[in-house]
Amino acid sequence: MKKFLIASAAILSAVTAGSSAAWANGEVNIYSYRQPELIKPLLDAFTKETGITTNVLFLDKGLVERIRAEGANSPADVILTIDIARLSEAKDGGVVQPVKGNVTIDKDIPSAFRDPDGEWFGLTTRGRVVYASKERVAENAITYEELADPKWKGKICIRDGQHAYNLALFASMVAHHGADYTEKWLTGFKNNLARKPDGNDRSQAKSILAGECDISLGNTYYVGLMMTNDKEPEQKEWASAIKILFPNAADRGTHVNISGMAMAKNAPNKQNAVKLMEFLASGEAQKIYAEEVFEYPVMPGAEPSDIVKSFGTLKPDNLPLTDIAKNRKTASELVDKVGFNDGPSN
What is the tens place of the pLDDT at every residue in 291-329?
Answer: 999 999 999 889 999 999 999 999 999 998 889 989 999
What is the tens place of the pLDDT at every residue in 253-282?
Answer: 999 999 999 999 999 999 999 999 999 999
pLDDT at position 227 over 50: yes
pLDDT at position 346 over 70: no
Q: CA nearest 292: which of 31, 34, 37, 48? A: 37
pLDDT at position 36 over 60: yes
Compute CA 330 distance to the chain's CA centroid, rounded to the nearest angstrom. Answer: 20
What is the tens place of the pLDDT at every residue in 172-194?
Answer: 999 999 999 999 999 999 999 99
- Residues 6+ away with beta carbon under 8 Å from 178: none
pLDDT score at 18: 32
What is the tens place of the pLDDT at every residue in 120-172?
Answer: 999 999 999 999 999 999 999 999 999 999 999 999 999 999 999 999 999 99
Domain span at residue 336 reads 125-255+310-342
Asked whether residue 45 falls in the same domain as residue 184, the answer is no
Confidence of residue 42 (pLDDT cuts 50, 70, 90): very high
Asked whether residue 41 falls in the same domain as residue 77, the answer is yes
Burial label for 196, CB within 10 Å (0-12, 13-18, 19+), is: middle
Confidence of residue 60 (pLDDT cuts 50, 70, 90): confident
Asked whether residue 20 falls in the same domain as residue 153, the answer is no
Asked whether residue 35 falls in the same domain as residue 129, the answer is no
Domain containing 14 — which CATH number? 3.40.190.10
pLDDT at position 88 over 80: yes
Q: How many domains does the chain have?
A: 2
Region 5-30 average pLDDT? 50
Asked whether residue 266 falls in the same domain as residue 202, the answer is no
Q: CA nearest 235: which of 224, 219, 246? A: 224
Asked whether residue 247 falls in the same domain as residue 154, the answer is yes
Asked whether residue 134 falls in the same domain as residue 197, the answer is yes
DSSP 8-state assignment for residue 217: E
pLDDT at position 25 over 90: no
Annotate 137-159 with b (16+ C-beta within 10 A) or e (fewer): beeeebbbbbbbeeebeebbbbb
In angstroms, the CA 238 to CA 209 distance is 6
**What mean pLDDT is reported for the chain?**
91
Asked whether residue 246 falls in the same domain as residue 262, the answer is no
The secondary structure of 83-104 as a DSSP string is: SHHHHHHHHHTT-EE---S-HH
Asked whether residue 160 falls in the same domain as residue 181, the answer is yes
Neighbours of 193 (CB within 10 A): 25
pLDDT at position 1 over 50: no
Asked whether residue 225 falls in the same domain as residue 109, the answer is no
Give the CA count within 13 Å in the CB-facing half-sphere of 237.
Answer: 8
Asked whether residue 329 falls in the same domain as residue 197, the answer is yes
pLDDT at position 3 over 80: no
Asked whether residue 243 falls in the same domain as residue 154, the answer is yes
In angstroms, the CA 202 to CA 35 distance is 14
